[in-house]
Amino acid sequence: MGELKDKIKGHADTMVGEIKRGVGKVTKNPNMEAEGEAQKLKGTAEKAKAAVKGTINKF
């Protein structure tokens, strides 16, 4: 069940990060843009973690 939780959290972080990055870009706020990019990368890492868990669970 941890795999599904990590996938969902990863997708959520990726989406929120993309939104923050976009808002930061539009408002010319480099801090928010950087926060959004960091959160997006965190989401990508969480999705990768879920994929590894899924592979391990197959064995």
What span, in angstroms and rounded, lies between the C-alpha atoms of 49 and 55?
10
Torsion angle defined by CA atoms of residues 23, 29, 30 and 33, in that order, rounded to the nearest 10 degrees:
-10
Map out the domains of the chain as residue ranges.
Answer: 2-58
User: Which one, of 25, 22, 19, 4, lies nearest residue 46 by Cα?
Assistant: 4
Residue-wise pLDDT for 3-43, tens only, equals 889 999 999 999 999 999 999 999 999 999 999 999 999 99
Q: What is the pTM of this model?
A: 0.83
What span, in angstroms and rounded, lies between the C-alpha atoms of 28 and 48?
31
User: Which one, of 35, 4, 5, lies nearest residue 20 by Cα?
Assistant: 35
28 phi-psi bin (left φ>0, alpha ψ -120 to 50, beta other): left
Residue-wise pLDDT for 34-52, tens only, equals 999 999 999 999 999 999 9
